[in-house]
Amino acid sequence: MSTVAASAPPAPQAFKSDYKPIWCPGCGDYSVLTAVARAFAILELRPENVAVVSGIGCSSRIPAYTTCYGFHGVHGRALAAGTGLKIARPDLTVLVAGGDGDGYSIGGNHFLHACRRNVDLTYIVMDNHVYGMTKGQPSPTTEPDWNSKLSPGGTGLRTFHPLVIALAAGANFIARAFSGDPNGTAGMIAEAIRTPGFSFVEILSPCVTFRPEQREWKQQVRPAPVASTDDPGRAARRIITDDGFNIGVLYKGNRKPYQPSMGTATKRLTDLEAGFAI
C-alpha cells in the first residue's frame, strides 16, 4: 500500500468540532461520529462542502460535533429539511442523521417519502431501539417483549423493520452497520454518499444507559453472508428474513436521483417575508 498522496486532503479530525459530545460514556454514537468524520475524509470532502442535518434526540446532536454546515431541526423533520437543502444546493453533500424514534416514529412519514423521492442524499439512523433522551420509552424498533418500568411486560407491538420499508418505498442504497466497527461504518457511509440517490444506512448504536444489554451486540453482529444485490426482489427476500444483525450493504440499485430544475428566484427573501407580516 502506498501512503504517498499528491496533496493532503483533510484528515478525519478536521471534521470534528471543538464541542465535546455529552453522550453517555459507552454510547455507540461516539463511534458513529468517528465514522462520519472518517467517511468524509475518505471521500476527500471539505467541511465547507458538506451539510449535516438532524432532528431531535441524542444522536441528533451530531451536527454540532462536526465542522461542517449543520442544521439541528425539529423532531422527525430532518429528512424534510435535508431534502429541501439538497434540492436547492445540489453541489453540497448532504448527510441527514438521527435516531430510531426521530426517524421511524415522529418522522416516519418523511422517511417513506424520502425513499420514494430518491433525492441524492444519505440518511444514517443510529438505532438503539429506545428513546434515550427522554429516559427510555419504547421506540418503533423496540422488541415487543422488552420489559421496562415505562412499558411493563413489553409493548406487545410488532417492531418496525426499517430496511424492508426503505426497500419497498424506493431507497436506492440500503445498508446496516455497527458502531462498534467505526472503520467498517465509515466505509459504508462513504459508499452510501458515493451512490447516487437516497442512501439509507441503519447503524446499530447501543444505548448503554437504558438498554445496557445492547453491549452484547458486539458478539451478535456478523458480516452479511451475501454480497450486495441490485435486484430488489432478491434483496426483499433477504431483508425480510434477516434477524437484524447482518452487517453490510444489502441493496444497491440504479434509480436515477430526483433533482428538479430550480430555475432562478423570482422574488427576494425580504419580499416573501413581507407577505407573512401581520
Partner 1 sequence: MSAGKAPTTTGGKGRPGRTPRARNRKEPVAKSSVSDEADFLARAWTMEVEAAERYSMLADAMHEHNNREVAELFRKLARIEQLHAEQLLEQNLTMHPPVLPPGGIRWGAGEGPETADPGELHYRMQPYHALQIALACEKRAQSFFAGYARDATRAAVRKAAREMAAEEGEHVRLIEEWLKRTPPPDKDWEHDPDPPAPSD
d(CA 141, CA 211): 13
Which residues, 6+ apart, have CB-to-CB distance to 30 below 8 Å? 21, 23, 179
Q: Smallest gap, in angstroms, from Cβ of residue 189 to partner 1?
A: 11
Identified binder of partner 1 from the candidate list 90, 108, 184, 232, rule CB under 8 A: 184
Instruction: Pick the piece of the chain touching partner 1 (CB under 8 A) from 2-10, 50-58, 155-163, 257-265.
Output: 2-10
Identified binder of partner 1 from the candidate list 26, 109, 226, 256, rule CB under 8 A: 26
Q: Which of residues 210-269 bind partner 1 (CB under 8 A)?
A: 210-213, 215-216, 218-219
Identified binder of partner 1 from the candidate list 64, 116, 168, 209, rule CB under 8 A: 209
Identified binder of partner 1 from the candidate list 14, 17, 30, 116, rule CB under 8 A: 30
Enclosing H/E stretch for 98: strand 93-99
d(CA 215, CA 141): 17
Nearest to 161 by CA among 184, 114, 207, 129: 129
CA angle at residue 212 from 137 to 73, to 5 degrees? 45
> Rule CB under 8 A: is residue 152 a binding residue for partner 1?
no
> Rule CB under 8 A: is residue 145 a binding residue for partner 1?
no
Other CB atoms closer than 10 Å to residue 108's CB: what's the count?
A: 17
Q: Smallest gap, in angstroms, from Cβ of residue 30 to partner 1?
A: 4
Q: Between 155 and 172, name the residue whose CB sits nearer to partner 1.
A: 155
